[in-house]
Structure 1
Amino acid sequence: MTTLRSVSLIGVPTDIGAGERGASMGPEALRVADLTKALRSHGVDVVDRGNLSGPPNPWLPPVDGYRHLSEVVAWNQVTHDAIYAELKAGRMPIMLGGDHCLGIGSVSAVARHCRDTGKKLRILWLDAHADFNTSKLTPSGNVHGMPVACLCGFGPQELIEIGGQVPAISPKWVRQIGIRSVDAGEKRFVHEQDLEVFDMRYIDEMGMRHTMELALATLDANTHLHVSFDVDFLDPSIAPGVGTTVPGGPTYREAHLCMEMIANTGYMGSLDIVELNPALDLQNRTAKVSVDLIESLFGKSTLMRK
């Protein structure tokens, strides 16, 4: 186990890659839900770096299969630079999104840091969606459905080369958990690229404990564990404040077990929290649940056994 770390919160207030407005308010909702105080209660040194800035959302239709490509590139570039700077300074970055297209900037920065330091990388993608669309496969052109594909080198040049190496990651480093909504063409592509997906049927059959044991298998002290937490991973009954709700997600207890098992490894080195949309929420409930789960990632446990 590593010692409790120095954490930097980085707000990225944009819904540039989403199909619904409002994720731009996510960072503030997490702050209102007292994320900083919650982390400090677990002995974590927290610095809130405030919000990054980038172009406004023009809310236009897709061009050549992508919506708002130049704006998406701009936001991901500033995200990459901010996350990379924190890692270089020996701090753990927590990206407060924003929509999930920002995973491109965030994960490419983490991958770059791992190349610098000779570390292996494992990415846990907690999500209802595989996010493995391309301009040819996407029904919408929304880039928040494409980050994993872009990170694996399938996407527009400007996006796939942000971290300085194409592809930024190998599909072998990714474990997707909670998946339950995948487009038909995207499903074929996921199989072709051999992504490791623990979908909801797998979790139903095998349980969250077995799922997480496999997802976390073979980690060691030379592995950087990155967690990309899309709030739509959760069942909408506990987390209604997202633009892309899909029924049948992990329950409150399953989600906590997932987070506690990640915490137990001691290897988490960076975190994204994305797709929180306060405009669709009920009294900031989804932000509060998210903060609660993030506490479990930092060692809060109901464990009463000796």
Structure 2
Amino acid sequence: ISRVAHGHLPLVLGGGHEVAFGSWSGLARHFEAQGEARPRIGIINLDAHFDLRDPRHVRSSGTPFAQIAAECHARNWPFRYACLGVSRASNTRALFTRARELNVLVREDHEIDALRLEAIVRELGRFMARCDHLYLSIDLDVLPAAEAPGVSAPAARGVPLALIEPLLEAVRDTGKLRLIDVAELNPSFDIDGRTAKAAARLIHRLTLDT
């Protein structure tokens, strides 16, 4: 994570989304080393799942953002989390309740369409304006199964690339993006390299002008 200190934009490529806790932990150590007392790190997760399951018994790809919330609480740091592309069918009521308790910005997959996209980009902009730094995490299962079959839980609906890209561009253009991770790519399950190509395109959009 010392790359951040030299103005670079680290990109983490992972399998399971448990990589997110390691990504955030490295970023947190960087800001502590820089002497930032209460950094406002905005986490933007493009994902069909909240990944807010209780980590006290088992830590997994379903717990990283709950772990981060606990770390923020222990450090007396604000926990700022936006989860876009959530599938109601793939998350329990308890997870939606937990998201409300943590004041998570939530947009479900069916809400992200061409008619509402501009309003969602503005809403995301307001979220990012209240942050000093941004950490973007992309779980490829946010995409429809036809675009990203090579994930552990292919989406029955998902949010198409054409609607994801404007969200990424809004994040990129703030100048606050410090870290990106891309999770859930499993080449063994991929078909014709579709998921890998989708991931490459998303990364290209994010790094185009950096």
What range describes the TM-score normalised by the shorter chain of this pair?
Answer: 0.7 to 0.9
User: Which residue of 1 is the match for residue 50 of structure 2?
Assistant: 130
Pick from 27, 36, 40: which aligns with 1:120?
40
Q: Quick one: percent identity of the two aligned structures?
A: 26
Cα distance in 2 for residues equivalent to 1:201 and 1:288: 24
Which fold has the larger relative contact order, with Cα–Cα distance below 8 Å and residues 6 or more apart in sequence? Answer: 2
Map of 1:97-246 to 2, 5 A cutoff? 97-115=14-32, 116=34, 118=36, 119-135=39-55, 141=58, 143-153=60-70, 160=71, 166=74, 170-171=78-79, 173-180=80-87, 181-204=90-113, 207-217=116-126, 219=128, 223-246=132-155
Cα distance in 1 for residues equivalent to 2:61 and 2:21: 9
In the alignment of these two chains, the number of paired residues is 204
Mean CA deviation greater in 110-119 or 177-186:
110-119
* TM superposition shift of 1:103: 0.5
Pick from 87, 96, 107: which aligns with 2:13?
96
Q: Which runs of 5+ in 2 are unaligned?
A: none
* TM-score, normalised via structure 1 length: 0.60
Q: 1:265 to 1:296 in 2, by over 3 A?
A: same
Are 1:285 and 2:188 an aligned pair?
A: no
Deviations 1:114-134 (A, max 9, x none): 343535321111100000101
* TM superposition shift of 1:260: 2.1
Q: 1:150 to 1:218 in 2, by over 3 A?
A: closer
Cα distance in 1 for residues equivalent to 2:139 and 2:77: 19
Residue pair 2:11, 2:179 contacting (<8 A) in 1 also? yes
Question: Partner letter of residue 125 of structure 1?
Answer: N
Q: Which runs of 5+ in 1 are unaligned?
A: 1-83, 154-159, 301-306
Residue pair 1:97, 1:276 contacting (<8 A) in 2 also? yes
Q: 1:255 to 1:91 in 2, by over 3 A?
A: same
* TM superposition shift of 1:184: 2.7
User: Which residue of 2 is the match for residue 252 of structure 1?
Assistant: 161
Task: From the CA coordinates, give the structure whose radius of gyration is larger.
Answer: 1
SS in 1 for 2:61: helix
* TM-score, normalised via structure 2 length: 0.84
Cα distance in 2 for residues equivalent to 1:212 and 1:144: 27
Cα distance in 1 for residues equivalent to 2:109 and 2:131: 30
Cα distance in 2 for residues equivalent to 1:218 and 1:176: 11
Question: Partner letter of residue 63 of structure 2?
Answer: M
Name the Cα RMSD after superposition. Answer: 2.7
Residue pair 2:136, 2:181 contacting (<8 A) in 1 also? yes
Residue pair 2:40, 2:77 contacting (<8 A) in 1 also? no
Residue pair 2:43, 2:136 contacting (<8 A) in 1 also? yes
SS in 1 for 2:126: coil
SS in 2 for 1:253: helix
Deviations 1:166-220 (A, max 9, x none): 358533x111111112123222222222222111233249622321221122645
Cα distance in 2 for residues equivalent to 1:215 and 1:143: 27
Question: Partner letter of residue 282 of structure 1?
Answer: I
SS in 2 for 1:188: helix
Q: 1:285 to 1:214 in 2, by over 3 A?
A: same
Map of 1:267-282 to 2, 5 A cutoff? 267-282=176-191
